[in-house]
Chain A
């Protein structure tokens, strides 16, 4: 009988001992005939409202997938215009103001509507509960609300684009944005504010889920590194986004009421805006890259059949990036009038934040060493990530060095640097994760050939697009200018041509992934023979993820244990054949 006290006593925490005893009888996979009639999260309620008002984290993840894909296309079209315009030194197709609007649209859409929500919204939503053995996020309704808040904020961006666009660049620096620009700064600001709120809610949900919803045996030391990365990301979202929100509020108040908090005429300081903007927006690049780094851990271990090298180092480096990432924002303002000694401190801290990133890269290469590597599409993307992110990260050190930055500031070198991290890093990690988990999400395998080809096309297209920009930036071509001296044309033409190749690469998954839904062969529970908890349930998972609450006996990357697959099966709650192995230690807490 449930007691009447509102404080039900907490059950003692049981941590199952480390135990590799394989499952005596592996659980049966559903046969194709069974699979066709099986109820899973996709088909258990197919009404329109069943989708629109769902609180299932997996369905919300798919809704995010559709949303961010649409905005990725929009952002890509904008940059297509920019790159095409840069074919000739005087601008091929766009007027000067149109050019400003095109690159601003590219920046705002790609950052606020694609890069920030993509992995937390899609893969984070879908897989964090699955990986920790929970039935759902801690706050399912809040999760749905955060999707609609995001969609609502995105509408403001769309509206702003339709009524004439924005020409301030994504950074919205005053006094241009608050005083001189006659474009739609307020709508864009509102869009940033609202999508930021959605970002906060997603982060809050993930942190609460990781803290409170882990299944028995899922200790912090057994959490998949993707979950660690999502956790660190969420901390940044929680701490950084509100500062951006209040900054945007102040800028909006300034624009509306005409009294400048950032207007030097009355004693305000535009640099304050930059400080507060970058206090969020520099950590925001870690919001974008950390989930990607998390994905890479899962993919690399699986396709090299090895445990991760240095689990604790990789896990804590995510947290380290989240913490130190908050202390480096001033390196965006070396040439903006910031104090000289302040700049020196920021330059030093910028070097410091490279350390945890380097720890990750070293650990990944050490993981690959001696592994049994198979080059399926997710692995090609993951290796692409490591190479491109390393280049992007190291060139970041050039920019973080005060002396070098004086030469390189606001040139195409900067553009190339952050595209190497954001596109070469994040975009490739996103593709790696999407391909890795697509069978789990949909229950279908995509075409092996086409996916590998797409990965290679993207890789080649990417490298050829941005490598020339390093050169032309070093030679002095400034960013955001529509015109340039004729001797730079060769680099720009190369860049533009490769951008088209890249575009083709990004279009390919849209076709073969869609085709896989109809023609792909059934994936089965665990097509890659991976050892994460999410692979122990069916594909696609049932509405509540697992038949019963699973129990975890070991870490997430046990590829070195003989018969690794059957130990995964053991974690699934329905199959308790190895019950003898279930004696846990009881630690009262």
Chain B
């Protein structure tokens, strides 16, 4: 008796929920909604695939330069962020189950948890961008010379007066300082990233990919959080008390899992492709939660 379910008050227990006007029945509606999200994810794969493809080309051409760039990134924040995102994948999955079971309270709890975890990721990511900026790891038009890099450059100039008054590339000087602080050693005790190993302009190329790919990922996270907040509001109004509407939580979770998957690709491509040590993780975290920025 479809008419019964269509006119039942919102939140009536034990009802599947009304079928939208253009569908014949609930299975058709659910299958369409699910299928639509999978199709959308196909386009997303191609979207990030394009960027990853371009990245791969340059990584193959300039492996050393990309490793140098990667070595200057904050792996501490990236590690914590990875944990946060994976945890949020668990909570959104539990949310599907809660909605399927018709438990508004559990659904609410898991949606809020997912939102908090996602927001924490974004907060840390923002802190990381800020630290990158303070360290002067900004390529192109917006690059500037940090104080520390200027000090080191001036010292170098006293030793070798033939150097120009202003460094040729502010980015390069900043990068040297950042890598110096990383103190990465290889097995023989030599610096893992030596100055002659890389071409600064190509490291800038790495940073372009770093900013644009993580930026696109952040954009997807923001959109996902927006949908999550919307679903929390809907949960509060009893929209999801119709148990068949678990499919909307499920499609949301598909999207959310996809965004996680993208991060699971970005993490090795950007952060793990260069030499790192455990000390960097702790230092990165100390930096993130410490009082100051920079070193």
User: 8 Å CB contacts to A: which residues of B1-52?
Assistant: 1-2, 4-5, 14-16, 21-28, 30-32, 35-36, 39-40, 42-44, 46-51
Partner of A242, one of B26, B47, B57: B47
User: 8 Å CB contacts to B: which residues of A498-528?
Assistant: none
Partner of A2, one of B4, B205, B208: B4
* Contact A138 B208, beta carbon cutoff 8 Å: no
* Contact A242 B43, beta carbon cutoff 8 Å: yes
Tell me, in angstroms, the Cα distance from A518 to B1 when the chains sit together: 45
User: 8 Å CB contacts to A: which residues of B194-218?
Assistant: 199, 201-202, 204-205, 207-209, 211-212, 216
Partner of A6, one of B2, B47, B140, B244: B244
Contacts of A246 in B (CB 8 A): 47-48, 50-51, 216
Tell me, in angstroms, the Cα distance from A265 to B204 when the chains sit together: 12
* Contact A1 B35, beta carbon cutoff 8 Å: no
Stretch of A182-190, A267-275, A294-302, A414-422 contacting B (4+ beta carbons < 8 Å): A267-275
B239 close to chain A: CB less than 8 A: no
| Number of residues from B at the complex interface, CB < 8 A | 58
* Contact A8 B26, beta carbon cutoff 8 Å: yes
* Contact A267 B205, beta carbon cutoff 8 Å: yes
A11 close to chain B: CB less than 8 A: yes
B76 close to chain A: CB less than 8 A: no
* Contact B24 A247, beta carbon cutoff 8 Å: no
| Number of residues from A at the complex interface, CB < 8 A | 56
Main secondary structure of the interface of B (DSSP, over half): helix
Tell me, in angstroms, the Cα distance from A175 to B208 when the chains sit together: 17
Contacts of A205 in B (CB 8 A): 36
* Contact A266 B50, beta carbon cutoff 8 Å: no
Contacts of B291 in A (CB 8 A): none
* Contact A8 B27, beta carbon cutoff 8 Å: yes
B142 close to chain A: CB less than 8 A: yes
User: 8 Å CB contacts to A: which residues of B41-83?
Assistant: 42-44, 46-51, 53-54, 57-58, 61-62, 65
A431 to nearest B CB, angstroms? 30
Query: A239's closest neighbor in chain B, by CB?
Result: B46
User: 8 Å CB contacts to B: which residues of A202-254?
Assistant: 204-205, 207-208, 211-213, 238-243, 245-247, 249-250, 253-254
* Contact B31 A212, beta carbon cutoff 8 Å: yes
* Contact A261 B205, beta carbon cutoff 8 Å: yes
* Contact B61 A2, beta carbon cutoff 8 Å: no
Tell me, in angstroms, the Cα distance from A268 to B207 when the chains sit together: 13
* Contact B32 A213, beta carbon cutoff 8 Å: yes
**Interface membership of chain B positions 115-156, coded 1 if the CB is closer than 8 angstroms to chain A and 0 otherwise:** 000000000000000000000000111100000000000000
Beyond A2-B4, A138-B36, A267-B65, 10 extra complex contacts between A and B, CB < 8 Å: A2-B1, A4-B15, A139-B36, A204-B40, A208-B32, A250-B51, A253-B212, A257-B140, A261-B209, A267-B201
Residues of B that sit less than 8 Å from A by CB: 1-2, 4-5, 14-16, 21-28, 30-32, 35-36, 39-40, 42-44, 46-51, 53-54, 57-58, 61-62, 65, 100, 139-142, 199, 201-202, 204-205, 207-209, 211-212, 216, 243-244, 246-247
